[in-house]
A and B are shown apart, each in its own frame.
Chain A
Amino acid sequence: MGRIGVLDGAVIVVYFAGVTIFGALLGRRTRSTRDFFLAGQRFPAWLVAFSCVATTVGSYSFLKYSAAGYQYGVASSQTYLNDWFWMPLFLFGWLPIVYRSGVLSVPEYFRRRFDGRVGLAATAVLLLYLVGYIGINLFTMGTALQELFGFDLFTMAALVVALCMVYEMTGGQTSVILTDFVQGGLLLVAGLLVAALGVARLGGLSAFAAALPAGHLRPLPPFDHPAKFSFVGVFWQDAMAGGVAFYFMNQGMLMRFLSARSLRTGRAAAGLVLVVLMPLSAVAVSGAGWVGSALVRLGVMDAGVRPDDVFVTVATLLCGPGLLGLVMAALLAALMSTADTLINATSALLVNDVYRPWVAPGRDDAHYLRAARYTSLGAAAAGLALVPLYGSFGTIYEAHGAFTAAVTPPMAAAILLAFLWPRFNSAGALATLLGGTVLVLASIADPALVAPFSHRVAPAGYGFLRACFGLAVSGALGVGATLATRGRPLPDARAFTIRGLREHPRRPRAGSARRRPATLWLRDDIGPDLVLVPPAAMERLDLAPGDSVFVDDRRFWLGGLRSVRGRVAPWPDAPAADALGLAPAPAEEQRWREGRRVVLERLDR
């Protein structure tokens, strides 16, 4: 075996086998593309939020932020604490537009907001980005497993793909969210555990703070230096461009929030992620670095440790056999949970934005579900095929990094202009996407282009400030092209902008209950999507006939796995005040019998 002992290796093997079986079993009731891509839109906020953590904390996070924490201290948490600025626009602009319009992806949004050309351009750019990203994740994971177990890189990457595909092809998004929930919990616990063990070893929080090098408790780095970790560079790359890329553009995150049972639940999940889980994640991924710098200062740890190795070195120093295996499993869980999300997201793009509109329109849902399963496999295989390439040519790996940096600011600018500015037209969108990408690529070839946006940062840090340059030039191109052309957006495009929200406001319902317990009655004379509710209960929940409701199992910890979504209809002659009528088929699918206590929940109108 490689670097780890037999007990730690066994812990890792058992963990991954357990996660794979868990994901495959719980996702086996996937029946439609809505189930496969949006998990039937049934999950509560806490489940969506925890699964988001596993996606957020992805490749490199533990290694990268521990290295930054070791070198620069608490300032390494900056990336995890500066997304809140986007929340009003995300929660009350982008999310309601996407949720109410029923789009499944950013390219579909562009196709319906503008036209097929813009949708196609966005599809091409995002597919290249996603498949390349899957390859990078698999490459990173194969490298890590090769180090730990001693087998060759490609074999380990192929093994990871095989494990992912067992549950991904069975349950799609349901399996992805449920396994990511477990993986997110594990990586938070493991990261916090390493940090806590380090603080305990140092003699408590006061001793830890006293042992940190000077300036390591500061929450932010200096404004314009060092070039590779200046505040302004990290701010523009991570908070401004990265924030939009992650919450607005990232197909995996978009599908995650759409998997919530309602817009309200999606908003609650985003709030939970940002306010609670991101600060905890910041400590989890950076903690080993902070502890490491204190341990080195006190002479407990070798000062010659490389920053990139600090997480593994600190974990090995502080954790005994078995526990180290769990921490290493968390490190790999972070990678695997990002890979499965990317595979599902790529499949959604291929089916929804390529196969359904251009290759085989008008087929039934079962056909598209089969296509979704095969495209998942195809996306994983394409990512796997890139692994040897990344391994052989370091420049390709770097080229993908450059491509990602080139794509993100134009896409972010295009999304913001598209939903905030109703006048923004397809010429403007194409100029933003294509012209912006070309200009950002030009700035990679000639970094002097970034100089006007450098904020006095040395040229070595221009890579970070490229986000500022990219957002500015892409936005300017889009505005210029829109004003210079006469093309007007399609009349129904207003529904995809902030103006649509203004013209069709949905008044929040105050003062009425949102959930109430009910007793199940089976009615074989109604359709499978109808939920019968007595008029008094409808009044108490402020429900009108036809409103969407959610019937959930009373066991909240099932996270909506046993639930039914339907349209409410009045039941004047209901046998009891708390009765709830459901057709036998959906009840049997959830293994509910007549007389079972359930919870009726009102969804957004």
Chain B
Amino acid sequence: MGDSIQSVLLSYLYQYVVGGIVFGAGIWFGVRTGQLGWRDPVRRRRLLLLVLGLAWFAALQGALLVCGH
């Protein structure tokens, strides 16, 4: 595992770009079906929780990426 940080960084970016497309598609469908949104407080809370969940994993793995180097 003595590989360069670039290879692991590529893994991180690939994961969040490809995963982000899947995640974004889900958000789009959620908005289109009226379950997620910004104006209504319940829909806004759902949207924020989803995005915060993704941010939590991105931050957790990002922090390990920085510390692990």
Contact = CB atoms under 8 A, between A and B. Distances in A.
A218 B42 CA distance: 37
Contacts of A407: none
Interface string A504-533: 010111110000000000000000000000
A209 B8 CA distance: 19
Nearest to B54: A84
A80 to B, nearest CB: 10
B8 A502 contact: no
Interface string A552-595: 00000000000000000000000000000000000000000000
A89 B1 contact: no
A218 B19 contact: no
Interface stretch (A34-42, A171-179, A219-227): A219-227
Interface in B1-54: 1-3, 7-8, 10-12, 14-15, 18-20, 22-23, 25-27, 29-30, 32-36, 40-43, 46, 49-50, 53-54
B60 A508 contact: no
Nearest to B24: A88
The bracket for how many chain A residues form the interface is 35 or more
Main secondary structure of the interface of A (DSSP, over half): helix
Contact of B1 (A213, A507, A510): A213
A232 B14 contact: yes
Given A214-B1, A502-B32, A93 B65 contact: no
B50 A219 contact: no
A235 B42 CA distance: 33
Interface residues of B, number: 43
B22 A81 contact: no
Contacts of A88: 23, 25-27, 29-30, 36, 50
Contact of B61 (A216, A219, A235): A219
B53 A222 contact: no
Given A88-B36, A498-B29, A508-B43, A219 B64 contact: yes
B68 A215 contact: yes
Nearest to A71: B1
Given A219-B68, A508-B42, A510-B41, A92 B26 contact: yes
Contacts of B36: 88, 92
B8 A220 contact: yes
A86 B32 contact: no
B33 to A, nearest CB: 4
A74 interface: yes
A61 interface: no
Contacts of A220: 8, 11-12, 15, 61, 65
Nearest to A511: B41
Nearest to A73: B1
A497 to B, nearest CB: 10
A214 B15 contact: no
A125 interface: no
Contacts of B67: 209, 217
Contacts of B23: 84-88
A420 B29 contact: yes
A74 B68 contact: yes
Given A232-B14, A509-B42, A219 B26 contact: no
A224 B29 CA distance: 32
A395 B67 CA distance: 43
A239 interface: yes
Nearest to A217: B68
List of 8 A-B pairs having minimum Cβ-Cβ separation, nearest first: A88-B26, A217-B68, A215-B1, A508-B42, A85-B19, A231-B11, A89-B26, A219-B64
Given A232-B14, A501-B34, 19 more contacts: A75-B1, A81-B61, A85-B22, A86-B23, A89-B25, A91-B50, A92-B29, A213-B1, A215-B3, A219-B61, A220-B61, A223-B10, A223-B11, A271-B53, A498-B29, A498-B32, A508-B43, A510-B41, A511-B41
12 contacts: A84-B23, A85-B54, A89-B22, A89-B25, A92-B35, A209-B67, A213-B1, A218-B8, A222-B1, A222-B7, A505-B35, A508-B46
